[in-house]
Amino acid sequence: MASSGRSLRSGYTTGACAAAAAKAAVMLLLHPEKWDLGNVTVEIPFPDGSRVQFTARLYGVTREDSGPVALASVTKDGGDDPDVTNGATIRASARIMETAEAGYEVVVIRGGQGVGKVTKPGLSVSVGEPAITPVPKSMIRQAVQEALSGDGGLAGSRGVEITISVPKGEELAKKTLNARLGILGGISILGTSGIVRPLSSEAWTSTITASMDVAKALGIAEIVLSVGRVSEKAHMKRYAFAEEAYVMMGDYVEFSLTDARKYAFKKVHVSAQWAKMLKILMSTPQTHVRHGAINLRKGVERLNELGIAVPRDRDFNTAREIYDYLVVTYGLSLPMFRKVCIAAKRYAEGLTAGIPVIAHLVSYEGDILVDSE
């Protein structure tokens, strides 16, 4: 992927970093005499069958009541992706478990400080469990199994306990939607491939789907798709739905509306300010500017088709200029702006396949100006 004429560098997920840190911790635990403390290269398998090397830091082995515990970490390199966890330290501790503790599992994975705990149903992780999703769990187990098999395995039915922690995880989580999803106390250990592709849609769409999973599991019948915090807060102020009903779709309009129909919600609300609402009524599936700047001439033409007279021969530089022209010329005419909402609603209902949609136009002052009803 390129941005401003240069290639963007891919990186690795928190799940991949946790797996590398876990393998390093087990290596140190089994043979502390073989390793100098500090940086070491660790290679782990990825879900696609490839192998990737990480630089892990070995801290040492401490003696606790439960036995020796080894600690290692990996610093997350997310490449050029602007994720909040880029640069975070992902730590793993490892200790041997005796028969009674290990049960039938060779590798037991726990969440430590800075890793969130799931408190709401609907996610891929059960309530009460640490927010470490299935693929990272599998990667951790495979990486640890490699360290164990290379050492001849564990005697008898003993197992190894891996605890993943993120020192600044609770602080980082405040910059995410984790709390709304019911993930409290830290970040999630995520990833489906182990690789972070910069500016990809995966992180956004995964959060959208997870939000709908939670809403459905809690029995919420109506959800609100918002393009941003201003639009979301405006709807919250007017209607005060349950927090779990609000889904931050960002620019992923088509994905969100199409995804919503899978859940058979009773109703879907779309909340957006003028520029985004104009794009929606123009049947724009992805409203971010990098997917194409809004064609203002087509926007003017579409408004005229709705009976909203806008000069076709005037050069508008932004969608906001069109909005300002309408306000100056016609005032805050609610019937006129309702036409815009109705047109956006029709496009949206074509994607929800029969689920009713209400479109809410949010003013630049942060209040709902009018809706499609």
Q: Please check whether residue 250 is in contact with residue 204, taking contact to mean a CB–CB distance below 8 angstroms.
A: yes
Q: Which two tokens stand for residue 342?
A: 């109705």
CA–CA gap between residue 93 and residue 18 (Å, rounded)? 10
CA–CA gap between residue 321 and residue 254 (Å, rounded)? 26
CA–CA gap between residue 343 and residue 371 (Å, rounded)? 11
295: three-class secondary structure by DSSP:
coil
CA–CA gap between residue 187 and residue 357 (Å, rounded)? 33
The per-residue pLDDT for range 53-74, each reduced to its tens digit, is 999 999 999 988 878 999 999 9
pTM of the model: 0.79
- Cα–Cα nearest to 249, from 219, 279, 292, 205: 205
CA–CA gap between residue 86 and residue 167 (Å, rounded)? 13
Determine what percent of the chain is predicted with pLDDT higher than 70.
88
C-alpha distances (whole Å) from 262 to each of 26, 122, 182, 353, 359 are 43, 14, 22, 10, 20
Exposed / middle / buried, residue 135 (Cβ in 10 Å: 0-12, 13-18, 19+): buried
- Cα–Cα nearest to 180, from 224, 209, 214, 134: 214
- Cα–Cα nearest to 90, from 111, 119, 62: 111
Domains within the chain, CATH numbers bracketed: 2-196 (3.30.2110.10), 202-371 (no CATH)
Rounded to the nearest 10 degrees, the angle between the axes of helix 319-330 and helix 334-352 is 140
CA–CA gap between residue 246 and residue 175 (Å, rounded)? 17
The per-residue pLDDT for range 19-47, each reduced to its tens digit, is 999 999 999 999 999 999 999 999 999 99
CA–CA gap between residue 33 and residue 289 (Å, rounded)? 56
pLDDT in tens, the chain (373 residues): 444 444 556 788 899 999 999 999 999 999 999 999 999 999 999 998 999 999 999 999 998 887 899 999 999 986 655 578 889 999 999 999 876 554 557 899 999 999 999 999 999 999 999 999 999 999 999 999 999 886 656 655 578 999 999 999 999 999 888 999 999 999 999 888 887 765 556 777 888 999 999 999 999 999 999 998 999 999 999 999 999 999 999 889 999 999 999 999 999 999 999 999 999 988 875 544 444 456 889 999 999 999 999 999 998 889 999 999 999 999 988 999 999 999 999 999 999 998 999 999 999 999 999 999 8
Q: Please check whether residue 368 is in contact with residue 238, taking contact to mean a CB–CB distance below 8 angstroms.
A: yes
pLDDT at 365: 92
Q: Which two tokens stand for residue 203?
A: 């992180």
CA–CA gap between residue 112 and residue 105 (Å, rounded)? 19
The HSE-up count of residue 238 (CA atoms within 13 Å, CB side) is 18
